[in-house]
Amino acid sequence: MAAECSKSKCAILFAKIKESNNDVWPIVYSPNYNITFFGMEKLHPFDSTKWGNVFQYLQDSNMISKDTVVCPTEISKEQLLEFHTERYISSLNWSSKVAVITEVPPVACLPNFVVQRRLLSKLRLQTSGTIIAARLALLRQWSINLGGGFHHCSSDKGGGFCAYADISGALKTLKTEGLINSALIIDLDAHQGNGHQKDFKDTDWVHTLDVYNGSIYPGDYKAKEMRNLLAIELRSFTADEKYLDKVSNGLDRIFSVMGQSFPDIIAYNAGTDCMVGDPLGQLSISPQGIIRRDEMVFRLARERKIPIFMVLSGGYQPQTAQVIADSILNLKGQGLIAREPNL
């Protein structure tokens, strides 16, 4: 089932989902998420086929197939300009700019049309997937985009392999269309989510819980000035017990701050670069610890009846995809996600 990004096409998509909702999982994925770039993708620690590997593991486990997930198409420039500045989007027409953002210097030497087709189009597709996942969550109570989570990108600046602000874009789109009045971002990637923090710095309708390694990139102290931010900084090599305690405590605190006003939706940035051995995250969370973490977040959303959409974000080890798939299968096994709507 394909999903265009225009409002009219989205209306058609969701009408079809409502009609056949027992046949389609609220999971968004396209095989075109994966990046092959003349081998240059190997110059960055990011596993550029992670998204496809997660899908394959879930398919091998007989949970999903290409016919039972929602397949997005690329977001348009006009839609990107709804949550990005014209200046920033225009800057991506320069390969040297993209090289800085993606941290792959040789990209600067390539013609921009090649960079657009082989790299940026993939990230635009995943950005579309996040927006569709946010819409799906409102219909089905939960959703997962098997990509996205570009939390270092804001409306006017990219970085850390994040060229488009998909989390900010999804929430701003829902707010503009009158579908939500409030949102909570739970960012558990190992790195600070400075992009969405800057985008929502002065807004009242978005709260953020960000639990990350305070000793690594990006160290964006300006972004931490966000009005409704609860930032919990961890020491390098923090392990399961302390990590899960910090996450649990953070969830309790952020909901205490919000009081009785539960958010209309949760955006969950479920980075797995906190896993032990990750060269960039520098934390020591076991695969089982990540599974327990994801279960904790989804159980909270389920108990409070808050729609939640999850994006994959960082994770830089070959085994990361298997851990993500195992976590999703655990959510299914625990009854926290199901193909049928209205859990």
Catalytic residues: 152
Instruction: Identify whether the C-beta of residue 100 lies closer than 8 Å to the C-beta of residue 160.
Output: no
Closest C-alpha among 170, 169, 166 to residue 138: 170
CA dist., res. 207 & res. 187, Å (int): 11
Could you give the angle at the alpha carbon of 202 between the alpha carbons of 196 and 206, nearest 5°?
55
- Give the length of the chain: 343
Angle (CA) 184-161-7 rounded to 5° is 55
